[in-house]
Structure 1
Amino acid sequence: MKPSARGRNHGGPQAPAASELSCEVCGQMPEPTKTRLTLANIAVMLPIELLVHAAVVGTHLPNVGKVLVLTLTATILVIWVAEPSAARMLRRWLHAPALRHRSRLGAAPSLWRARTVLADRPGSLQKLTRSLAGLDTNILSIHVHPVDGGVLDEFVLSAPGGLREAELLAALREGGGNDPHVWPTTALAMADGQTGALSLAARIAANPEELPLAVAELLHARIVAGPDAGTTAPAATDGTVLKIPTAWHGPITFSRPGEPFTPAESARAHRLAELAEILAHRPVTSR
């Protein structure tokens, strides 16, 4: 069940709203434990049972009539009054385990992938690191790409769970970063880049036809023109479109809006294309 972010913002002792406890995906309320549900029902039903018994026992009805009246009255009051009242008045206590679990999830660190351009001079990265440290954000990995006007640094960051994208962007700018971008990510971003590239090269070696998908995976990009597509790839002057010419596969074009390709990424993609072309034209030797 996906925890709602609103569950972390309750204030005061009042019972939480249903929207705070319900799942954002399925809309269902979390199931309270049987022990808590039983104790809550007893706490609400016991006064009702006592009042009903006190009222009926004092009447002059025969015993059979008293039993029937007590049974029907208590059943109706329990269904219509006790159970809804227990669910409403004791909602926070009933769902306390679920709320504590969601609070722990909300406080857990979250992973972000970030990119920004820094000046290529001593102290630039140190200044950025101090700015991120002010948000209790830790740099888990860093890749440096030389670009015009400086270096493009790509980070994987571990940040407090409640930290917002705007706060991270502001910290990157305060630290001297130009044109920063951040994206939520997963632990897969921690995989070693060189190992990933070698794995994709092995994939192409086994089947050169995998080149377009392998490059798209390497660059986290989208294929906008396949080898058989008769369309012209959209022109882009901001570096977000990369075209790889191949003699046997035709031109392959990739797009990554908002995230320009670096020279190093372009070189890696071209090397994979060269590998695929060599393997595709290698004659098959008989054993």
Structure 2
Amino acid sequence: MEQLRTALTGGTACEVCGRLPHPRRLRLTLAKLLAIFPVEFALHAAVLALHPPYLVSVTLLVITTTALVIWVIEPSTMHLLRSWLHAPRSQPPSGIESLWRIRVTLADRPGALERLTHELAEADANILGLHVHPVDDGVRDELVVSTPDTVSSRWLLEAIENAGGRDAHVWPTTTLALVDGQTKALSLSAQVVSDPSELPHAVAELLGAHLVTDRVTLEGPLPADGTVLKIPSPWTGLFAFTRPGEPFTPAESARAHRLAQLAELALTRCP
């Protein structure tokens, strides 16, 4: 437990109550004096009033004071004075930010994207990446935003709803989402040309999806939520990919089919 506390607090927690930061030496000394003085005062007053033998007086003072101060008085006083003894709890560094990936459908009309960016700015979200995909009922926008660590996905969804967005999805993401998509697609294309058997793995990496091996899914119809994508195999049958909770966009479907065509072309040119 002590190792866990040290790991979580960076080794700066007080040994008495675990609060951050550790009390200053002057305040710690004053707190201990406040704990000892009333006990010492009461015992000396009792000794002077009763007049026991000298040795008995010394022994009584030493044993009683030590026991009360170490095991009773000092811990209780330290706990009682903790709000004065310690400064406020340490706050995390303000520079820490969270990254989010957003997908939302907007109306295909002027000002829709501007309204979305305004609402996200009101939620302290900084847009780092943006892709727009035309769909039947508008445009599907994909954004990567950074926010302070105090901003939650619920706040972002409320901002998107206020901007008129539909079918919004928000996921935590990493800096890998900021990798240039064109560069990644070109690298995977070169990989497929060099070895066409790498097609399913290249598509899965390009789309951030999982390859489906279940025969029922491969042979059945596509689900209406758009989370399963099928592309033709250069050999026979189909490859299917799934991304639960994150529908594939028309542009992603086109990229995957283009990679399949590239693999088929590379196979026909192999000696």
State whether structure 2 residue 100 is matched by structure 1 residue 112. yes
Secondary structure at the residue paired with 2:146?
strand
Q: Which residue of 1 aligns with 2:169?
A: 181
Query: In 1, distance between residues paired with 2:135 and 2:104?
Result: 11
Shift of 1:155: 0.9
Specify the code of the residue in structure 1 equivalent to 2:182.
Answer: Q
Query: In 2, distance between residues paired with 1:170 and 1:34?
Result: 36
Q: Which residue of 1 aligns with 2:260?
A: 273
Q: Kindly indicate whether the alpha-carbon contact (under 8 Å) linking 1:117 and 1:151 is maintained by their aligned counterparts in 2.
A: yes
State whether structure 2 residue 210 is matched by structure 1 residue 218. no
Query: In 2, distance between residues paired with 1:47 and 1:158?
Result: 50
State whether structure 2 residue 152 is matched by structure 1 residue 164. yes
TM-superposition CA deviations, 1:15-53 (whole Å, max 9, x none) = xxxxxxx98x97999623786275554333212323343
Aligned-residue Cα RMSD (Å) equals 3.7
State whether structure 2 residue 113 is matched by structure 1 residue 128. no
Query: In 2, distance between residues paired with 1:204 and 1:64?
Result: 93
Secondary structure at the residue paired with 1:101?
coil
Change beyond 3 A, Cα 1:83–1:189 = farther
TM-superposition CA deviations, 1:49-97 (whole Å, max 9, x none) = 233433445634545962674256325532444235425641685363x
1:232 to 213, 217, 221: 217
Shift of 1:265: 0.2
Specify the code of the residue in structure 1 equivalent to 2:140.
Answer: L
2:232 to 223, 242, 245: 245
Q: Kindly indicate whether the alpha-carbon contact (under 8 Å) linking 2:22 and 2:86 is maintained by their aligned counterparts in 1.
A: no
Q: Unaligned stretches of 5+ in structure 1?
A: 1-21
Q: Structure 1: which 4+ aligned runs deviate by more than 6 Å?
A: 25-30
TM-superposition CA deviations, 1:106-160 (whole Å, max 9, x none) = x854322111122223322222222323333332211011211222111112334
Change beyond 3 A, Cα 1:269–1:89 = farther
Q: Which residue of 1 aligns with 2:17?
A: none
Specify the code of the residue in structure 1 equivalent to 2:138.
Answer: G
Q: Which residue of 2 aligns with 1:31?
A: 13
Secondary structure at the residue paired with 1:183?
strand
Secondary structure at the residue paired with 2:23?
helix
1:42 to 8, 20, 29: 29
TM-score relative to the length of structure 1 = 0.70
Specify the code of the residue in structure 2 equivalent to 1:232.
Answer: T
Number of residues paired by the alignment? Answer: 255
* Aligned-residue identity in percent: 43
Q: Which residue of 2 aligns with 1:51?
A: 38
Q: Kindly indicate whether the alpha-carbon contact (under 8 Å) linking 1:40 and 1:86 is maintained by their aligned counterparts in 2.
A: no
Shift of 1:221: 2.1
Q: Write out aligned runs for 1:138-157 (5 A).
A: 138-157=126-145
Q: Which residue of 2 aligns with 1:4?
A: none
Secondary structure at the residue paired with 1:166?
helix
Q: Write out aligned runs for 1:1-20 (5 A).
A: none
State whether structure 2 residue 58 is matched by structure 1 residue 66. yes
Query: In 2, distance between residues paired with 1:173 and 1:90?
Result: 45
Query: In 1, distance between residues paired with 2:188 and 2:111?
Result: 35
Change beyond 3 A, Cα 1:27–1:224 = farther
Task: Name the larger-Rg structure.
Answer: 2
Query: In 2, distance between residues paired with 1:61 and 1:44?
Result: 33
Secondary structure at the residue paired with 1:140?
strand
